[in-house]
Amino acid sequence: MAISSSIQAQQTLSDPRWQQVVARDAQADGSFFYSVKTTGVYCRPSCGARQARPENVAFHATIAAAEAAGFRPCKRCKPNQAALADIYAEKVAVACRLIDAAETSPTLTQLAEHAGLSRFHFHRMFKAVTGLTPKAYVAAHKVQRLRQQLDANMKVTDAIYEAGYGSSSRFYEASSQALGMQPTQYVQGGKQVQIHFALAQCSLGAVLVARSAKGVCAISMGDDAGLLLNALQDRFPAAVLIGGDADFEAMIASVLAFIESPKLGLNLPLDIQGTVFQRRVWQALREIPSGETVTYSMLAERIGMPKAVRAVASACAANTLAVAIPCHRVIRQDGSLSGYRWGVVRKQALLAKEAAD
């Protein structure tokens, strides 16, 4: 028995998927498809075609279901082909692998040609997927390789060339920012590097904030202030740790204020040291608004690597800048809280404060 057009329209309007179609929500692509009786086609939710009348619309869970109902794919949004976002993500992933494997860093022109795109289009696409420009990604990759060589006790001059720097002079221009210190100091565990720090108490327990010459390099929380300081000393065993700096007290005050009232925001110069992949994950974390959460799989998709869920979780666990890089905003697929470097109880408390703001 055929359903009247008014009843069909009401069913469509009451279906939450209809609002996603009206909004042309690209995030819904792949979760369902919709067909239009008058045109005989099925589309993605994000299709840019003229909006259909609700009485002519039906929803389908899969492509197979839509085609079994007698509908053909829309020529505009091509729902039976890979989504444009997926295509771009794959192109960027290929470009990243080229950069990672190359002895000499490829140029923007070479990367764009390999992707079959113009320099301008590739540059914009790469930044949208990774959060970094191709130039910044190449630079971060060089730093990652340099760290690996220095950690393997390679001579500094050899490590510079092995990492892909064309000349030592070009490297030394950026080495301080790249490593947070001079390369010889990095090898020696931060020898002669000054690290200012302060300890305080808040509703979540003890808080330590440390700053290098480049910015805040550590924000940690725990039950015992002494253990937090010991961990800082272990991280920079040969550095000069300076506590009780009056000017630095203002910085830790801003961190404490943010913990207690997230709506205040936190804008600090950060000394972020990590691998290329970690920096991509951490940048994506910083883009999550206060009061919102994402799953590890969602975070992996945001950096264009949907299969790297475990690696994303590891990058979150490696974060040493609590609240400034808000890894507490990542939850499990079922909505439950996963592990947190500074304790699940603190993670729950941070999320509760943000939700109440």
Question: How many other CB atoms are found less than 10 A from the CB of residue 52?
Answer: 19
Task: Give 181's Cβ-side CA count (13 Å radius).
Answer: 22
Structure tokens at 268: 């600090």
- Could you identify the residue written with the tokens 């883009």? 287
pLDDT digits (tens, 9 = 90+) for 1-59: 456 788 888 999 999 999 999 999 887 888 899 999 999 999 999 998 999 999 999 99
From 43, 47, 96, 316, the catalytic residue: 43
For position 12, what pLDDT does the model report?
A: 92
Q: Provide the strand spans (E) within the chain.
A: 33-36, 41-43, 57-60, 72-73, 194-202, 205-212, 215-222, 240-243, 294-295, 330-331
Sequence-ordered list of residues with C-beta below 8 angstroms from that of 347, at least 6 positions apart, any chain: 328, 337, 340
Q: How many CB atoms lie within 10 A of CB 145?
A: 18
Question: Is the CB of residue 183 less than 8 Å from the CB of residue 146?
Answer: yes
Residue 259, both tokens: 């913990």
The yes-or-no verdict on residue 66 having pLDDT over 90 is yes
Task: At 112, list the tokens.
Answer: 């764009």
Packing angle between helix 119-130 and helix 108-115, nearest 10 degrees?
Answer: 90
Q: Which residue did the predictor score with more confidence, 91 or 171? A: 91
Instruction: Check if 43 is active-site.
Output: yes
- Residue 287, Cα to own-chain centre: how many angstroms? 7
Mean pLDDT on 196-216:
89
- Pick from 286, 284, 295: nearest CA to 268: 286
Q: Examine the pLDDT at 240 and tell me if it is beyond 90.
A: no
Q: What is the DSSP letter of 166?
A: S
Backbone angles phi, psi at 201, to 5 degrees: -115, 145
User: What's the rounded mean pLDDT across residues 134-156?
Assistant: 64
- pLDDT of residue 94 exceeding 70, the answer is yes
Closest CA to 35 of 57, 15, 14: 57
| Joined tokens for residue 286 | 């910083």
**What is the structure's pLDDT at 152?**
46
Residue 291 CB burial class (10 angstroms; 0-12, 13-18, ≥19): middle
Q: Which residues pair with 201 in a beta bridge?
A: 206
pLDDT for res 183 = 52
Most confident stretch, 245-254, 262-271, 329-338: 329-338
DSSP secondary-structure letter at 4?
P
Q: Catalytic one among 77, 96, 316, 327?
A: 327
Question: Helices 309-317 and 276-286 meet at what angle, rounded to 10?
Answer: 80
Residue pair 34/43 in contact (Cβ under 8 Å)? The answer is yes
- Give pLDDT, residue 160: 52
Whether the model clears a pTM of 0.75, i.e. scores above it, the answer is no
Rounded to a whole number, what is the distance in angstroms from the first to the last CA of the chain?
Answer: 52
Question: Residue 330 above 80 pLDDT?
Answer: yes
Banded model confidence at residue 208, pLDDT cuts 50, 70, 90 = very high
Q: Is pLDDT of 263 > 60? A: yes
Average pLDDT over residues 246-253: 78
The mean pLDDT value for 106-116 works out to 90
Say how many C-beta atoms besides its own lie within 10 A of residue 94's C-beta: 13
User: What is the pLDDT, as a whole number, of residue 61?
Assistant: 92
Q: Which amino acid is at 14?
A: S
